[in-house]
Structure 1
Amino acid sequence: MAGQEQRRRRHRVVLFPLPFQGHVTPMLQLAALLHSRGLAVTVLHTAFNAPDPARHPELAFVPIHEALPDEVTCPGADIARQLLALNTACEAPFRDALASLLLLRGRRGQDQDQGSVACAVVDGQCYAAVDAAAQLGVPVLALRTDSAATFRTMLAFPRLRDAGYEMLDELVPDLEPLRVRDLIRVDGSDADALCGFIARVAGAVRSSASGVVVNTFEGIEAPELAKIRRELSLPVFAVGPLHLMSRAPAEQTTLRAPDGGCLAWLDTRPPRSVLYVSLGSVATVGHAAFEEMAWGLAGSGVPFLWVVRPGLVAGGEEEAPPPLPDGFSEEIKNRGKIVTWAPQREVLAHAAIGAFWTHCGWNSTLESVCEGVPMLVQPCFADQTVNARYVTHVWGVGMEVGEVIERGIVAEAVAKVMVGEEGARMRERAHRLKMEASAATSLSIDSLIHYISSLPTAN
Structure 2
Amino acid sequence: MGESNNSHSHRHAIVFPYPFQGHISPTLNFAVALASRGFVVTCVLTEFVHNAASKFGDFNFNFSGLDIRCATISDGFPLDFNRRLSEEFRESLINDFAGRADEVIGRITRSYPAAKFVLVADSLFSWPAAVAEKYGLVNVTFWTEPATVFSINYHLDLLRENGHFPNFAASGESRIDYIPGVRSISTNDLMSYIRQPKALPGVTKIAVTAFQQVKNADFILCNTVQELEPEALSALNHRHPTFAVGPITSSISHVHKHLVDKITLWPRSDCTDWLDSKPPGSVLYISFGSIARINEHELREIAHGLLLTQVNFLWVLRTDYGTKNAFPDGFLDDVQNRGIIVPWCNQNAVLGSVSVGAFLTHCGWNSVLDSIWSGVPMICHPLLVDQPTNRKLVVDDWRIGINLCDKEKVSREEFVRKIEMIMEGNECVLLKEEVKKVREVLKNAWESSNGSSRRNFDRFVEELNCRLLLKKN
With the length of structure 1 as denominator, give the TM-score of the two structures: 0.88
The SS at the match of 1:15 is strand
The 5-angstrom pairing of residues 199-210 of structure 1 reads 199-206=208-215, 208-210=216-218
Query: 1:301 & 1:177 partners in 2: Cα distance?
Result: 39
Q: Give the unaligned 5+ runs of structure 1.
A: 107-114
The SS at the match of 2:293 is coil
Confirm whether residue 147 of structure 1 aligns to residue 155 of structure 2.
no
Q: Give the unaligned 5+ runs of structure 2.
A: 446-450
- Higher mean alpha-carbon deviation, 121-130 vs 17-26, is at 121-130
- 1:119-154 deviation digits (Å, cap 9, x = unpaired): 010000012234322332211111101110110110
Query: 1:129 & 1:84 partners in 2: Cα distance?
Result: 17
Structure 1 residues 438 and 180, CA gap change in structure 2 (3 angstroms):
same
The 5-angstrom pairing of residues 373-412 of structure 1 reads 373-402=376-405, 403-412=408-417
Partner residue of 1:447?
459
The SS at the match of 1:33 is helix
Give 1:415's match in structure 2, choosing from 416, 420, 430. Answer: 420
* Contact 1:296-1:407 within 8 A present in 2 as well: yes
Partner residue of 1:112?
none
Query: 2:158 & 2:200 partners in 1: Cα distance?
Result: 16
- Give 1:431 shift: 0.3
Give 2:284's match in structure 1, choosing from 272, 275, 281. Answer: 275
Structure 1 residues 76 and 122, CA gap change in structure 2 (3 angstroms):
closer
Partner residue of 1:437?
442
Partner residue of 2:248?
242
The 5-angstrom pairing of residues 229-378 of structure 1 reads 229-230=237-238, 232=239, 234-247=240-253, 248-249=258-259, 251=261, 253-260=263-270, 262-311=271-320, 313=321, 316=322, 324-378=327-381
Confirm whether residue 88 of structure 1 aligns to residue 87 of structure 2.
no
- 1:141-183 deviation digits (Å, cap 9, x = unpaired): 1110111011011012121123224554322113334210111
Query: 1:322 & 1:99 partners in 2: Cα distance?
Result: 51
The SS at the match of 1:291 is helix
Structure 1 residues 116 and 171, CA gap change in structure 2 (3 angstroms):
same
The SS at the match of 1:415 is helix
- 1:229-262 deviation digits (Å, cap 9, x = unpaired): 12x2x111111110233225564522223211x1
Query: 1:9 & 1:298 partners in 2: Cα distance?
Result: 63
Structure 1 residues 244 and 153, CA gap change in structure 2 (3 angstroms):
same
* Contact 1:9-1:38 within 8 A present in 2 as well: no
The SS at the match of 1:376 is strand
Confirm whether residue 122 of structure 1 aligns to residue 127 of structure 2.
no
* Contact 1:321-1:340 within 8 A present in 2 as well: no
Partner residue of 1:425?
430
Structure 1 residues 294 and 395, CA gap change in structure 2 (3 angstroms):
same
With the length of structure 2 as denominator, give the TM-score of the two structures: 0.85
Quote the sequence identity (%): 27
Query: 2:364 & 2:8 partners in 1: Cα distance?
Result: 34
- Higher mean alpha-carbon deviation, 173-182 vs 421-430, is at 173-182
Structure 1 residues 349 and 40, CA gap change in structure 2 (3 angstroms):
same
Confirm whether residue 157 of structure 1 aligns to residue 167 of structure 2.
no
Confirm whether residue 99 of structure 1 aligns to residue 106 of structure 2.
yes
The SS at the match of 1:434 is helix
Structure 1 residues 220 and 72, CA gap change in structure 2 (3 angstroms):
farther
The SS at the match of 1:103 is helix
- 1:258-308 deviation digits (Å, cap 9, x = unpaired): 211x12111112221111111111111112221112111222221111111
Structure 1 residues 352 and 66, CA gap change in structure 2 (3 angstroms):
closer
AA partner of residue 90 (structure 1): F
The SS at the match of 1:142 is strand
* Contact 1:143-1:214 within 8 A present in 2 as well: yes
The SS at the match of 2:227 is helix
